[in-house]
Structure 1
Amino acid sequence: MPSNVEIKARVSDPVLLAQRVAELSQSEGTIIRQRDTFFNCSQGRLKLRDFMNGSGQLIFYKRPDSDGPKLSQYSISPTSDPPSLQVVLADALGVKGQVQKVRQLFLIGQTRVHLDTVEGLGHYMELEVVMRPEQSVEEGQQIAVNLMQQLGVSEENLVTGAYMDLILKGPAPAVPL
Structure 2
Amino acid sequence: MPSNVEIKARVSDVAKFAEKAAQLSQSEGTIIRQHDTFFNCTSGRLKLRDFMNGSGQLIFYERPDTDGPKLSRYSISPTTDPQSLKTVLSDALGVKGEVKKERRLFLIGQTRVHLDTVEGLGHYMELEVVMRQEQTVEEGQQVSFYDPL
TM-score, length of structure 1 as denominator length:
0.83
1:153-164, aligned counterparts within 5 Å? none
The offset of 1:51, in angstroms, is: 0.3
Ranges in structure 1 where 5+ consecutive residues have no aligned partner: 152-177
Q: Within 2, Cα distance between the matches of 1:42 and 1:108? A: 35
CA distance in 2: counterparts of 1:36 and 1:110, whole angstroms: 24
1: CA distance, partners of 2:131 / 2:38 = 25
SS of residue paired to 1:15 = helix
Q: Where do 1:88-127 residues align within 5 Å? A: 88-127=88-127
Identity of aligned residues (%): 79
Letter in 2 for 1:94: G
Mapped to 2, the partners of 1:50 and 1:123 lie a distance apart of 20
How big is each residue's C-alpha offset from its partner over 1:43-99, in whole Å with a ceiling of 9 and x where there is no partner? 111000000100000000001111111110000000000000000000000001100
Look up the match of 1:71: 71
Matches within 5 A, 1:11-160: 11-147=11-147, 150-151=148-149
Q: How many residues align?
A: 149
Flag structure 2 segments of 5+ consecutive residues without an equivalent.
none
1:69–1:145 CA contact under 8 A, matched in 2: no
Q: Distance in 2 between matches of 1:145 and 1:70?
A: 12
How far apart, CA to CA, are the structure 2 residues paired with 1:17 and 1:67?
Answer: 21
The alpha carbon displacement at 1:4 in A equals 0.3
Higher relative strand content: 2
Question: How many angstroms apart in 2 are the aligned matches of 1:135 and 1:53?
Answer: 34
Distance 2:97 2:5 in 1: 25
Letter of the 1:107 partner, please give it: L
Give 1:31 deviation, angstroms: 0.2
Q: Secondary structure of 1:88's partner? A: helix
Question: Helix, strand or coil for the counterpart of 1:61?
Answer: strand
Equivalent position amino acid for 1:61 in 2: Y
Deviation beyond 3 Å, 4+ runs, structure 1: none
> TM-score, normalised on structure 2?
0.99
Supply the RMSD in Å over aligned alpha carbons: 0.6
Distance 2:144 2:112 in 1: 10
